[in-house]
Amino acid sequence: MPIRFDERGYIIPPEKDEMSLEEFEEIFVKSFPASSTRETLFAGYISYMRHFKVEIAEDFIHWIGGSFTTKKVNPNDIDLVTIIPYETFEAHIKLIEEKFRKKSFSTYGIDAYFVATYPEGHEKFSLYQGNLAYWNNQFSKTRKNRAGQRFKRGYIQITFQKQEL
């Protein structure tokens, strides 16, 4: 099903929409030939994703939201949440924090955050569920405008697995 946008340029319906990396590029980069930022930001995203695959893990999920997933011609960054198993997160926490979170904006143009997945029954399972709910809420609504209004919007999920590099 093709992506639809409302009159404000937000994805509708306001929910998570799964797609491939190729579809993401087609819809949010190639469909904006007049943009002076989208190609550069997407190249930064590809570099970020490839470095992450080599240095951290090959299996992960990206939630992408914010202005890059709207009809805004020249977004300033890509808002990204990486969802990975807690074992991977805990084993690489220093590298993730330094390279893939703190320096993500200056290096790649990515505003990056992480959610570690915990299985049901784990003491941190409720933390994981709360983090998912938080990011779903953040990506499903805009910030308040000057009139105090927030608008509903959708966001993108891309799932990466070992064979895709």
Look at residue 58 and tell me if it is in a domain: yes
Query: What does the mean pLDDT of the chain come to?
Result: 95
Tell me if 137 is assigned to some domain: yes
Q: How far is CA 58 from CA 20, 39, 64, 87, in A?
A: 15, 24, 18, 13
Instruction: Report the pLDDT value the prediction gives residue 165, as an integer from 0 to 100.
Output: 47
Domain that holds residue 104: 4-160
Q: What is the pLDDT of residues 108-118, one digit of tens each?
A: 999 999 999 99
Q: Is residue 155 part of a domain?
A: yes
Model pTM score:
0.94
Q: Check: CB of residue 71 under 8 Å from CB of residue 164.
A: no
In-domain check, residue 90: yes
Domains in the chain, number: 1
Beta strand 11-12 with 4-5 is antiparallel
Confidence bin at 2 (pLDDT 50/70/90): confident
- 165 within a domain of the structure (yes/no): no
Q: What is the pLDDT of residues 137-149, one digit of tens each?
A: 999 999 899 999 9
